[in-house]
Structure formats: structure tokens, C-alpha cells
Amino acid sequence: MRISVIGTGYVGLVTGVCLATKGHQVICIDKQLKIVKKINRMEAPIYEPGLEELLRNVITKGTLVATTDLKSAVMNTDISIISVGTPFRDGKIDLRYIESAAQEIGNVLKEKNSYHVICVKSTVIPTTTDTLVKSILEDASGKKAGEFGLAMNPEFLREGKAVQDFMYPDRIVIGAYDKESFESMKNVYKDFFDAPILKVNLRTAEMIKYTANALLATLISYSNEVAVICEKVGKIDVKEVLEGVTLDKRFNPRVNNQLIYPGMVSYLKAGCGFGGSCFPKDVQALLAFSKELGYFPSMIQATLAINYAQPYRLIERLEEILDTLENTKIAVLGLSFKPETDDIRESPSLVIIKELLAKKAKVIGVDPIAIENTKKKFPQNELLHYSTDYKHALQEADAAILVTAWSDFTKISPQEVKKLMKIPILIDGRRVFDKSSFEAAGVQYIGVGLAEYLQ
């Protein structure tokens, strides 16, 4: 099929490259010329494992091309997939990029004679596609929905695993305005192995996406709430507690006692809170939308409140040990919101750095690939330095806080910490280190959801 993808960020570029890899003819459109040029030079503008290699293949084969020219892209394709950003701004979801993409497509449809399907892939609050997008398209094109197709196909990929998640989806949700729209979208995904296709209406598809993200975020906050209770009681390790809970087959299905897939356990881990471009913004958007409807969703509100507090709890625990943070030097291990990405949007590390600086500590931010992005937010100065070398940071620091579980960091041994740090203090914000081995080596270890020695 001939497909245009509007917006080539994390979702749009992965979508375009993967669909081209599956044999579709794809045109990627972005407003930013520098992104378009990079794509055509076969350079991925974002860091995502495996993406650049696939990009090289599809550009070389001629099945993908990038442009800023939306008009010719829509004219020369049969389906347009909208994957522009939908940020949370001024207390609600900001749909301005969706509106302008719909307007631009609608203007082209006015002049286009053949049938064209418009599919929203961006995460949008329920009713966006069947009211806002539909009416903009109808007004701009002078046509009625039905004369053009309309679909909503939410994306469930995770950053860092985007290519794998897109190529091997657990499910494909297609919200469709009518039968023709659904059939066209089904053809887009005809070669996606046996992934179940769920056919729903447009607003159900939108609600599935929010419900999925809010549920995963709630599991994380639930784990973090339990972690606080464990810390208060003492001599209970939240990790053991959650392991004891999630060995239940209802969380982690096993056959002959072999785990088939790490199920909900992946989101039932205590830590320093969820970040990223989606969980925080989507849960906030769902909360705001629900309030607009006259319903206050207290569980969703609690999910956000717990997450807001979590990074500060690490600082409080550090203060308990050091008395004051003033004039101390703290190594923050990990800047990206999770490993395998250079994305720092809503990363807990940003809250931690800001709070440490507010308390007059000096900070060394350590990360293999996210330093440049972090510098844009917090420029380097006499109080804040960056390094890709954790050894150097540990040598300099009075304490270290692990925020992102990059494999470089999780491999750090107790002996290394003991050797490198003057007075070794390690706050484990992701619970990746073994408390007893670190303590045996003489490191003062503080883990989320774990207070005092276990007995």
C-alpha cells in the first residue's frame, strides 16, 4: 500500500520504517527540515536500537522517502497516518498539532479525487477523532466522512524497544468509522504474523490507549506506595514482597513452572517513579478530561500524586545520612527516563538534579547517551557537571544515586564502589543492586522500599 506518515518523531519514524520494511511504499512527512534531511541521509534522528539499520535498508531499496511536502505526499498515497505530538499543556491535552495536520490533509483532499483514509495514531482523548478531526477534515475538504476513510489506531510501543514492539505487536487495535476504513487499515497490518486485530469504534480505540497507559502507571505507583509502607515498618524488603505477590500465575503465567513471559511483574517494581513522554502526560490528560466530564477519578489522581513524591523521597533518605546536602557532591547515575534511550522527557533524574541544586549540592550527571539532551534543560555550570564516565563521577562524589538502570551501571560491583568512593554511599533508586553484597564490601546501601537490615 502507499502510506504517508505525518510527524516523524519516535512513533512516526518507527511506524514509517517498519511499514516500509514490511513492503509498503512509505512517505514520511515532518515540518522540521533538519529531521527530513537526516532521514534521507539514512541517519535516525533519534536513538532507538535497530532503527538506523532498517532505515538504511528501506531508503536504499527506495521504499521510504522523507519530505516536508505534505501535499504531494497525501496526493501520492492512499492512507495518511497522523503521528504528531499531543503534549499536556495548561492543564489539558494540547491538540494543536493534530488540528493543523487534519487541516492540511483536508485541504489536499479537496483536490484529490481518489479514496483516502486518514488514521490517527497519536494518543488523543476519546472523541477527538470522531468529532474534532472528522469535522476539520469535512470542513477543509468539502467532503463527508465516508467519502474519505477515518480510523484511530493507537500505538503501544515502548521507547528503547520500539522496533521490536512495532514489528511484533501483542495486539493491533483498529477503531474505524466504517467498514471501508477498517478494511484499508487491516491491509496495512496484513503481514504482522498472528497479532490479534481488535475492531472497535473510534472513541473506544482512543480509550483503550489511555486505559492501558494509566493501568501500567498505576501498577508502578501502587508498588511505590507499598515501598513506602515497607520502609516505615522496617526489616521488610518491598522487592521480596512484590516477588511474593507476582509469583502468582495470575500475574506471571507459567507452563510447567516455566515463565512464558514476564507479565505484570515488569510494572510491579518499586523505584524512583515513572517518567517519559507518555505516562505522565497521558495520565494527566485522562485526569483532566474526566474532570471536564464531571467525574473526579481518585485512583488516577493518586497514581500521579505518588509518582510526583517518589524522586523527592530518595533525596530525603540521602539527607538522613548526610545531615545536609549543602556543599556535598552527588553523582546522579542515569539521566534518560529509562535505559536504551536518549529521551529525558519527564525523567525522575531532572527532578532529582533540580532538588539537589536547590539544596546547594554539587551534581555530576552521568549517562552514556542522554547528556546532550539534559544539557539543553540544565546547562553545565560550576555546580553541575556531566560525564559519561561513572568511575570518574564516583571518585569525585560524596554519594551516588542510581536513577536509570543502564547496564553499564547495573554491572558496577560492590568492590568497585568501595574502591572508587571516599566514603561509599549508594542510593539504589531502581533496586538493581544486592544490598547484602554491597554492605559486605563496606558500602552504605539505601534501597527504595527497604529500611534497616533484614533479619
Residue among 3, 4, 5, 8 that touches ligand NAI (CB under 6 A): 8
Q: Which is nearer to ligand NAI, 83 or 303 (CB)?
A: 83
User: Which amino acid belongs to residue 414?
Assistant: P
Task: Indicate the burial class of 336 (C-beta count within 10 angstroms; 0-12, 13-18, 19 or more).
Answer: buried
In the complex with ligand UGA, the residue whose CB is nearer, 157 or 394, is 157
User: By rule CB under 6 A, what string of x and - marks binding of each residue 65-84 to ligand NAI?
Assistant: ------------------xx
Amino acid (1-letter code) at residue 64? L
Kindly list the distances between the CA atom of residue 342 and the CA atoms of 81, 338, 372, in Å, as whole numbers in the listed order: 25, 9, 9
User: Of 18, 119, 230, 278, which one is the catalytic site residue?
Assistant: 278
Is residue 278 flagged as an active site residue?
A: yes
- Any idea what the Cα angle at residue 362 is, between residues 358 and 368, rounded to 5°? 110
Q: Does 97 bind ligand NAI (CB under 6 A)?
A: yes
Identity of the residue, 181 or 341, whose beta carbon is nearer to ligand UGA in the bound complex: 341
Site string for ligand NAI, 135-164 (x = CB under 6 A): --------------------x-x-x-----
State the binding site for substrate: 156-159, 209, 267-271, 275, 338
Smallest separation, CB 13 to ligand UGA (Å): 14
Task: Report in angstroms how near the CB of residue 56 gets to ligand UGA at its nearest.
Answer: 24
**Minimal distance in Å, beta carbon 384 to ligand UGA?**
22
Please state whether beta strands 79-82 and 88-89 pair in parallel, antiparallel, or not at all (unpaired). unpaired
- When computed from its CA atoms, the radius of gyration of the chain, rounded to whole angstroms, is 24
The single-letter DSSP state of residue 389 is -
Least Å distance between CB 213 and ligand NAI? 8
123 binds ligand NAI (CB under 6 A): yes
Which of 7, 368 has the CB closer to ligand NAI?
7
Find the binder of ligand UGA among 78, 138, 159, 206 (CB under 6 A): 159
Under rule CB under 6 A, residue 275 binds ligand NAI: no
CB of 318 to ligand UGA, least distance (A): 19
Contact call for residue 280 and ligand NAI (CB under 6 A): no
Q: Work out whether 218 is an interface residue with ligand NAI (CB under 6 A).
A: no
Minimum CB distance to ligand NAI, residue 358 (Å): 29
In angstroms, rounded to a whole number, what is the distance separating the alpha carbons of residues 260 and 252?
Answer: 8
Sheet (strand 329-333) strand order: 384-387, 362-366, 329-333, 399-402, 425-428, 444-447
Q: Mark 200-239 with x for binding to ligand UGA (rule: CB under 6 A) and - for no binding.
A: -------------x--x---x-------------------
Q: What is the DSSP letter of 450?
A: B
DSSP string, 301-363: HHHHHHHHHHHHHHHHHHHHHHS--TT-EEEEE--SSSTT----TT-HHHHHHHHHHHTT-EE
Q: Collapse the DSSP code of 424 into the 3-class scheme (helix H, G, I; strand E, B; otherwise coil) and give the result.
A: coil
Phi, psi of 82 (to 5 degrees): -90, 120
DSSP 224-247: HHHHHHHHHH-S-BHHHHHHHHHT
**Residue 203 binding target from ligand NAI, ligand UGA, none, CB below 5 to 8 Å by type:** none
Q: Is 260 in contact with 276 (CB distance < 8 Å)?
A: no
Q: Does 267 bind ligand UGA (CB under 6 A)?
A: yes
Per CB under 6 A, 122 contacts ligand NAI: yes
85 binds ligand NAI per the rule CB under 6 A = yes
- Which of these, 425, 302, 327, lies nearest to 382 by C-alpha position? 327
Number of residues counted as binding ligand UGA (CB under 6 A): 22
The greatest distance separating any two alpha carbons of the chain, rounded to the nearest whole angstrom, comes to 75
Contact by Cβ (8 Å): 318, 401: yes
Shortest reach from residue 396's CB to ligand NAI, in Å: 34
State how far the alpha carbon of 83 is from the alpha carbons of 12, 20, 179, 235, 247, in Å: 5, 16, 23, 48, 38
Residues at the contact surface with ligand UGA, assessed by CB under 6 A: 123, 155-159, 213, 216, 220, 266-267, 269, 271, 273-279, 337-338
Residues that bind ligand NAI (CB under 6 A): 6-12, 29-32, 35, 83-86, 97, 100-101, 104, 122-123, 155, 157, 159, 277-278
Catalytic residues: 278
